A and B are shown apart, each in its own frame.
Chain A
């Protein structure tokens, strides 16, 4: 039976017919191909390769980009895709976010015509997986002080340094890596097999277990001259990518929250304690009402942001608010849903603990919750509070 997502205010009625068809397509994929396999994928710590193939066949990778084999859907449709994928699992949505917003987008926006023609069609079809190397072991929220360096050797660039927490790293054919060239942050396209490039997988995660996370190591890694992204210098490059990915996350988190709400509702109606379904008790109803309230607000926030994104009248702070709020409420909803499931909530028979553990990562990556608060704080006051001179 197809999933009926909570949509109390019928927000999806605001979508176009095309966006609704895209929603139904992805929802069908998640129902039939993701949910039956997700718990095994998590236990084995793998991203099933057939999901990559189907995402490519459906044509949802790089969905809002136009040309070079990309469909040019609306950002609203891209949001809907993220929501439906994350209803399945945040790891699955992460795969699509990284491929589309973090690896394809910088090539599409800042790449040369040759780079776009060479990489984008194969990435849109899913044949080549991409990853995005910005975060380093010692530089997470503060990427501007990154250590990774590129040196111009005349015929080639020499890359040295290391990146960490890189989604898709070990399975990627294409890595968009940000490094300092003469002190200025530039984007480089590194390919699997380049001399001096290694991408060992990071093991032992309690979160996003169906997603591959890696280190990227560059030891005198030689990069041909035509693999620098010519169109951007400075932090604007990676931040442009992150704006799009964060936008997608603000929708994606709603999917995870809807899945947790649905499971909690069904469980509370069928679980009998003290002779009655626990859904009949006021404490449980209060929790379910709160979930409905927060999901409805998050839906309206995401939808309105999508309209601004499609109209082009948005600022990064709008995205910060939506990413921060929607992930925050999704995580809290997952925790309360786990509570409603009682001990059963810790079993992988139910999706709630998996979503809860995933959302802990989602709260931290793509700008931590606190960093988004500081971005908004700077917007409100005009005073940045990220750093200060403590000497």
Chain B
């Protein structure tokens, strides 16, 4: 049995997002990156692999451009890559979860790591959804995971402090910000990545019938522009500033 890490390619946090015809204009996104929480999942997946927990496969579900992210993952040490090539832009979370669950089964993986949410949709449902479909234990908000006997020990943040959870296979860890950043590749890894072949399949190849989307997106909108800053000078404006901080900014 192997380890799988689920990766999603999202617009880079530095990229400008334009909306055209009620949809995010993907063609105008200058740079795509791996979703940041997924990068933490990848780092800890590599650590589990290095601890002998199994071979590591990186899985993504998305359009052709997503394959670059899998090559980047190969450069830091994943053993194999599976790309379910499909346009996900009009899919709902459940459809994507069913594809990823089938991909996980296809790879014979029973330890799955992913980010707690993607940086573009912020839905947060992929980890729990996939865990439910493959009947795996699900641990969310994870900041650390390691091999513990036959199972795994994970640290997760809660509002009142940290909680340590021990689970056995099959299990899924959805990562929050973690202590260790994703490692940098090296030249050897980059040259190896070039030789690794990405297995590219369609949802049909995996035997998944994703059905119809249960959700219809009406329209995307850019966030409203921030109103300009207000400037106050002199002691006499203190009461005005306090009132505004309390009633408009809601910070005191």
Contacts and interface: CB of A to CB of B under 8 A. Distances in A.
Contact of A60 (B13, B14, B187): B187
A58 B191 CA distance: 12
B193 A21 contact: yes
B14 A22 contact: no
B191 A71 contact: yes
A127 interface: no
A4 B193 CA distance: 24
A73 interface: yes
Contacts of B186: 25, 57-59
B14 A18 contact: no
Nearest to A4: B14
Given A17-B68, A18-B194, A73 B187 contact: yes
A58 B14 contact: no
Nearest to B13: A1
A312 interface: no
A63 interface: yes
A22 B184 contact: no
A18 B190 CA distance: 7
B188 interface: yes
A29 B181 CA distance: 13
A58 B184 CA distance: 8
Contacts of B191: 18, 71, 73
A2 B188 CA distance: 23
Contacts of B194: 17-18
Interface in B232-251: none
Interface of B: 13-14, 68, 71-72, 75, 184-188, 190-191, 193-194
B14 A1 contact: yes
A71 B75 contact: no
18 contacts: A1-B13, A1-B14, A17-B194, A18-B190, A18-B191, A18-B194, A21-B75, A21-B193, A25-B186, A29-B184, A57-B186, A58-B184, A58-B186, A58-B187, A59-B188, A63-B187, A71-B187, A71-B191
A78 B102 CA distance: 42
Nearest to B188: A59
Interface string A9-48: 0000000011001100100110000000000000000000
Contacts of A59: 186-188
Given A2-B14, A21-B185, A63-B187, 5 more contacts: A1-B14, A22-B190, A57-B186, A58-B184, A58-B187
A117 B190 CA distance: 24
Contacts of B75: 21
A25 B71 contact: no
Interface of A: 1-2, 4, 17-18, 21-22, 25, 28-29, 57-60, 63, 71, 73
Nearest to A19: B190
A1 B193 CA distance: 25
Contacts of B14: 1-2, 4
Nearest to A63: B187
Nearest to B12: A2
Contact of B72 (A1, A2, A21, A60): A21
Interface centre among B71, B184, B188, B190 (most CB of A within 10 A): B190
Contacts of A57: 186
Nearest to B194: A18
A318 to B, nearest CB: 26
A125 to B, nearest CB: 11
Q: Is the interface of B mostly helix, strand, loop or mixed?
A: helix
Contacts of A58: 184, 186-187
A22 B187 contact: yes
Contacts of B193: 21
A25 B184 contact: yes
A63 B191 CA distance: 12
A29 B187 CA distance: 13
B71 A17 contact: yes
Contacts of A21: 71-72, 75, 185, 190, 193
Nearest to A73: B187
A385 B71 CA distance: 52
Given A1-B14, A18-B194, A25 B188 contact: no
Nearest to A71: B187
Nearest to B72: A21
A17 B67 CA distance: 12
A355 to B, nearest CB: 24
A272 to B, nearest CB: 15
Nearest to B193: A21
A339 to B, nearest CB: 29
A381 B162 CA distance: 77
B88 to A, nearest CB: 23
Nearest to A54: B184
B119 to A, nearest CB: 14
Contacts of A4: 14
Given A2-B14, A17-B194, A21-B75, A28 B187 contact: no
Contacts of B185: 21, 25
A50 to B, nearest CB: 14
List 3 tightest A-B contacts by C-beta distance, closest first: A59-B187, A71-B187, A59-B186
Nearest to B14: A1
A238 B227 CA distance: 64
A73 B189 CA distance: 12
A57 B184 CA distance: 10
Most buried by A among B68, B184, B187, B190: B187
A141 B188 CA distance: 38
Contacts of A2: 14
A153 to B, nearest CB: 42
A18 B68 CA distance: 11
A1 B14 CA distance: 7
A2 B184 CA distance: 14
A17 B191 CA distance: 10
Contacts of A22: 187, 190
